[in-house]
Amino acid sequence: MGRGSGFGKTILFGEHFVVHGVPGIASAVDSAAEAEVKKSQKGINVTDERSGAKGYAEKKKLQQLESIERMLAAMSMDPKKVAIDIWLGGNLPGFSGLGASAASSVAIARAIAEEFNIDLPDERINDIAYEAEKAYAGNPSGIDNTAATFGGLIWFKKNMGGGSNTIEQLSIREPVEIVIGNTGIVANTKAMVAGVAERKKQNPEKYDAIFGQAEKLAHEGRKALEEFDLRKVGELMNENHRLLQEIEVSCKELDYLVDLAREQGAFGAKMTGGGGGGCMLALTPGKDLQEKVASAMEDEGFKVLRTKIGIQKG
Ligand code: MEV
């Protein structure tokens, strides 16, 4: 049997803008998807036992199968001839926006490689997971699979010319508590990404100005993280959320959770990932603030994840 895992992630700055070449910052969270792969008799059979994944897994089933076929093709295997049983689990909840699809793709690619005795460096796993991500995101930037493969805190810039993307590991003084709040709405990342591209085409002036602000914000966010100025990081996250509202990828449930987190004292809050549902992220340094914000969301009936950004990988 082959085994593999992939990190969950949260985007601190730049989701959607990264698809168009603006830099973004993502952090792995301390939860991962795990996969086991066994050669079998017929077809590709997936058993998805990720926690909280029921609705998520059902809605994403077709995209998941397409992603596995893409992955096999990227590994020079014929999806029609491969017979494997895949088990998915791990402690990364199946929330939209936490990079669950990329984490599972990385886990599955690693498990397939082990089961078929193929020696693949992380760079190749990342490329294979990127191919798989196309099934979920249509035209992904690559930030999710990069965070899922390498972990850590990542500065990411897509190379719009098709060459290698810029990937830098950032370091911060110490890990910082965050709360991920889940709207409970399973979002369609592919539709959200396509919607932004369409609106950008229709309103180039408006969108170019917003994209310019997002670029500036990513650089300021990097500086604030490296200087460990968490108040500033929070302010910039708030600003990032405003830009995401302007490009119409937030929704009332995300805005509600963002406002709630800020009222409870979060240093900053924003949606994270594709939007249109899925998750938001609140910066809540210290266990007490994290607990306050998390339980306020739980009291309103939302599911949350208490985790940290900036955890060193390994
Ligand atoms: C999804 O987690 C992040 C998006 O920017 C899509 C992508 O970068 O591939 C919305």
pLDDT in tens, 270-279: 999 999 999 9
Rounded distance between C-alpha atoms, residue 278 and residue 254, angstroms: 8
Nearest to 184, CA basis, from 94, 291, 102: 94
* 144 among known catalytic residues: yes
Nearest to 16, CA basis, from 26, 7, 8: 26
- Give the pLDDT confidence score for residue 158 in this predicted structure: 97
Backbone angles phi, psi at 300, to 5 degrees: -90, 5
- Give the pLDDT confidence score for residue 176 in this predicted structure: 97
- How far does the centroid of ligand 1 lie from the alpha carbon of residue 140, in Å? 6
Rounded distance between C-alpha atoms, residue 185 and residue 63, angstroms: 17
- Give the pLDDT confidence score for residue 313 in this predicted structure: 64
Catalytic residue, from 144, 208, 229, 255: name it. 144
Is the alpha carbon torsion for 19, 312, 275, 213 positive or negative? negative
Rounded distance between C-alpha atoms, residue 24 and residue 215, angstroms: 8
Low-confidence stretches of the chain (pLDDT < 50) are none
Residue pair 279/99 in contact (Cβ under 8 Å)? The answer is: no
Q: Is the CB of 140 under 6 A from ligand 1?
A: yes
- Give the pLDDT confidence score for residue 54 in this predicted structure: 61
- How far does the centroid of ligand 1 lie from the alpha carbon of residue 292, in Å? 29
- Environment class of 147 (CB within 10 Å of its CB; exposed 0-12, middle 13-18, buried 19+): buried
Which helix (H) or strand (E) segment holds residue 216: the answer is: helix 204-226
Q: Is the CB of 25 under 6 A from ligand 1?
A: no
Residue pair 33/210 in contact (Cβ under 8 Å)? The answer is: no
Q: Is the CB of 274 under 6 A from ligand 1?
A: yes
Atom of ligand 1 nearest to the CA of 11: 2
pLDDT in tens, 8-20: 999 999 999 999 9
- How far does the centroid of ligand 1 lie from the alpha carbon of residue 156, in Å? 12
| Joined tokens for residue 253 | 């449930």
Identity of residue 153: L
Q: Is the CB of 243 under 6 A from ligand 1?
A: no
Q: Is the CB of 189 under 6 A from ligand 1?
A: yes
Global pTM value: 0.94
Q: Is the CB of 275 under 6 A from ligand 1?
A: no
Atom of ligand 1 nearest to the CA of 142: 9
Residue pair 106/6 in contact (Cβ under 8 Å)? The answer is: yes
Greatest extent of the chain over all pairs of C-alpha atoms, in Å: 56
